[in-house]
Amino acid sequence: MKFTTNYKENNYEIIVEYGALNLNYDFTQYDKRIALIDEHVYGLHSVAIESFIKQHHIEKMLIPFGEQVKTSAHYIKFTEQILTKRVTRNSCLFAIGGGATGDFTGFIAATVLRGIHFIQIPTTILAHDASIGGKTGINATTGKNLIGAFKRPDKVIYDLNFLKTLSQTEKLSGFAEIIKHVILSSTGNINESKSLLQLMNDIPDKHALSHLNEIERWITFGIKTKMQVILEDEFENGIRKHLNFGHTFGHAIEFHHKLPHGVAVLHGIIFALILSDAEKSDLTIVLTWMKRLGLQRLNFEEFNIYNKLMQNDKKNEASHINFVVYNALTGFHIRQFEGVQLQQTFEMLRKLEG
Ligand code: NAD
Ligand code: ZN
């Protein structure tokens, strides 16, 4: 499936299908073409990747796999290497990998020569989220994604063949953002809203997810939901903040327990729903989805560890912590909470997850 973003200008094409890498593309407008490729993804898909980069005369640069690449040290190292290749503002970087590769490569593209071109080739389910909306960045020692820039790609080429080699945990992690998009689409903020109960039957179980059943439909759904939000608020002055639903607590446990991003976000969504005083029935529905998808309970530690990390979250002002909360009727809102309320929520989450 092919579709185009509908910003006022500078729109780009998003192609989502099995075999998308083999379609006809013309990249000759870029004077230098360099692909930053997750080394692990390269190992698994070298034949398809080599054929793509040879055909389009793209130079290859393997980068450390996954989240570990998103450091300032790697940023400097690879940026310097790219600069030695005499890139110009007409050059293009291709990001082949998951969300981490996309964030990292996009941030380099945003900052080298104050901005060069950039094409996303996502290889995880989660990257349906990361590759849309133009947020790029790396981690700081004090927390995730604290150094970054907004940068739209020129194109997103989503070849679903990549997804076949994802581990079950990575599939679950990727589906977390789809769950978030489902919850977003169930409120009045987004068109065609359906209640969570109506959406309930559609969510796959662990088995269906492992076979990637209907994954094209889900990825397209996630992208379209996210795009609707981005269209209204590209630079996160308002409604885009709602996409952080589940992420404040999620980022804290992701950072501390080194969990896959989406797995952490699933726990974060439950935390945010409790904090929202969500209807018990909605909470039950969401918990059922997550268990059906195979989410396992986490061995939580002391609340203070997470609280400290949440204080560093970039969405906060002063001593309060901002959270995106959900209301079945009125949609999403930003509210400030203090330590005591958060600690109570944390204890409830612990009990609920058993
Ligand atoms: P990732 O890039 O770390 O990939 C997860 C793991 O899967 C890595 O070990 C990677 O090597 C491996 N992998 C990737 N593709 C594979 C494949 N086809 N087969 C087998 N293994 C494969 O992370 P992710 O889960 O895709 O994304 C998470 C990252 O995205 C986080 O850094 C998060 O902050 C970021 N993110 C950004 C945005 C945004 O708007 N920019 C949104 C959501 C998430
Ligand atoms: Zn996320």
Mean pLDDT, residues 120-146 taken together: 91
Q: What is the CATH number of domain 2-164?
A: 3.40.50.1970
What are the two backbone dihedrals, phi and then psi, of residue 218, each rounded to the nearest 5 degrees?
A: -70, -40
Q: Could you give the 3-state DSSP secondary structure of residue 35?
A: strand
Can you give the pLDDT at residue 317?
56
Lowest mean pLDDT among 42-56, 65-79, 276-290: 276-290
Q: Is 292 exposed, middle or buried, given 0-12, 13-18 or 19+ CB atoms closer than 10 A?
A: middle
ipTM at complex level: 0.99
Residue 114 is a catalytic residue: yes
| Residue reference for tokens 């013309």 | 26
Angle (nearest 5°) at CA 123 between 121 and 125 = 120
Structure tokens at 155: 């194109």
| pTM of the predicted model as reported, rounded to 2 decimal places | 0.89
pLDDT at residue 238 tops 60: yes
Can you give the pLDDT at residue 300?
93
Superfamily of domain 167-353: Dehydroquinate synthase-like - alpha domain (1.20.1090.10)
- Encoded amino acid at 145, one letter: N
Average pLDDT over the chain, rounded to an integer = 91
pLDDT level of residue 8 (50, 70, 90 thresholds):
confident
pLDDT level of residue 239 (50, 70, 90 thresholds):
confident
pLDDT at residue 284 tops 60: yes
122/36 Cα distance (integer angstroms): 12
Can you give the pLDDT at residue 313?
63
pLDDT level of residue 10 (50, 70, 90 thresholds):
confident
- Encoded amino acid at 61, one letter: M
| Residue reference for tokens 């590769």 | 101
pLDDT digits (tens, 9 = 90+) for 323-335: 999 887 788 899 9
pLDDT level of residue 282 (50, 70, 90 thresholds):
confident
Can you give the pLDDT at residue 314?
53
Can you give the pLDDT at residue 281?
84
Mean pLDDT, residues 310-315 taken together: 70
pLDDT at residue 11 tops 80: yes
pLDDT digits (tens, 9 = 90+) for 167-205: 999 999 999 999 998 888 877 555 556 677 777 778 899
Can you give the pLDDT at residue 253?
95
pLDDT digits (tens, 9 = 90+) for 148-165: 999 999 999 999 999 999
**What contacts 97, CB < 8 A, 6 or more positions away?**
36, 37, 38, 41, 63, 65, 121, 122, 123, 124, 127
| Residue reference for tokens 């890139």 | 87
Can you give the pLDDT at residue 120?
97
CB 153 less than 6 A from any atom of ligand 1: no
Name the more confident of 110 and 226: 110
Nearest ligand to the CA of 128 is 1
Structure tokens at 211: 């076979």
Can you give the pLDDT at residue 325?
93
**What separation in Å is there between the alpha carbon of 137 and the centre of ligand 1?**
13
Can you give the pLDDT at residue 285?
87
Residue 247 is a catalytic residue: yes
Can you give the pLDDT at residue 144?
79
Can you give the pLDDT at residue 191?
52
CB 268 less than 6 A from any atom of ligand 1: no
**What contacts 73, CB < 8 A, 6 or more positions away?**
none
pLDDT at residue 131 tops 70: yes
Yes or no: say if 109 and 118 are a contact pair by the CB < 8 Å rule: yes
Mutate to test the pocket of ligand 1, among 18, 62, 65 (most ligand atoms within 8 A of CB): 65
Q: Residue ranges per domain, the chain?
A: 2-164, 167-353
Can you give the pLDDT at residue 316?
55
pLDDT level of residue 229 (50, 70, 90 thresholds):
confident
Nearest ligand to the CA of 269 is 2
Mutate to test the pocket of ligand 1, among 37, 46, 103 (most ligand atoms within 8 A of CB): 103
CB 289 less than 6 A from any atom of ligand 1: no
